[in-house]
Chain A
Amino acid sequence: MSTLLECKDLTKTYGPKTAIDHISLSIESGHIIGLLGPNGSGKTTLIKMINGILTPTSGTLTIAGNPIGAESKKHVSYLPDHTYLNMNQKVKDVISFFRDFYQDFQLERAHDMLQKLGIAPEDNLKSMSKGTKEKVQLILVMSRNADLYVLDEPIAGVDPAARDYILNIILSNYDPKATILLSTHLISDIENILDEVIFIQNGQIRLSSPVEDIRVKEGKSVDTLFREVFKC
Chain B
Amino acid sequence: MAWNLDSDRPIFSQIVERIQTDIIAGKYKPGEKLPSVRDLAQEAAVNPNTMQKAFAELERIGLVFSRRTSGRFITEDIPMIESAKTTLAQQEMNRFLEMMQKLGYGRDEILNLLNRTLKKD
B-binding segment of A56-64, A115-123, A211-219:
A211-219
- What total of A-B pairs shows CB separation below 8 Å? 56
Tally B residues with Cβ within 8 Å of A: 18
Task: Please report which residues of chain B, range 48-95, place their CB below 8 angstroms from some CB of chain A when the two chains form the complex.
Answer: 48-50
The residues of B that contact A153 with a CB separation of less than 8 Å are none
Interface presence of A68 (CB below 8 A): no
Grouping DSSP codes into helix (H, G, I), strand (E, B) and loop, the A interface class, with mixed when no group exceeds half, is: helix
Contact call B2/A164, Cβ cutoff below 8 A? yes
> A191–B7 Cα gap in the complex (Å)?
8
CB of A212 within 8 A of CB of B8, answer no
Which listed residue (A32, A192, A223) contacts B5, Cβ 8 A? A192
Interface positions of B from 1 to 37, Cβ below 8 Å from A:
2, 5, 7-12
Which residue of the partner chain A has the closest CB to B3? A192
Point out the residues of chain A lying under 8 angstroms from B101, CB to CB.
none
Interface hub of B7, B9, B10, B45 (most chain A Cβ within 10 A): B7
CB of A212 within 8 A of CB of B50, answer: yes
Q: Which of B7, B45, B49 contacts A215 (CB 8 A)?
A: B7
Expressed in whole angstroms, the minimum distance between the Cβ of A95 and any Cβ of chain B is: 24
A21 at the interface (CB under 8 A from B): no
Which residues in B have some Cβ–Cβ distance to A below 8 Å?
Answer: 2, 5, 7-12, 38, 41-42, 44-50
19 inter-chain pairs at a CB distance below 8 angstroms, sorted by A residue, are: A31-B49, A164-B2, A164-B45, A167-B45, A168-B45, A171-B41, A172-B42, A174-B48, A176-B48, A188-B7, A191-B7, A192-B44, A192-B46, A193-B45, A195-B50, A212-B50, A215-B8, A221-B8, A224-B8
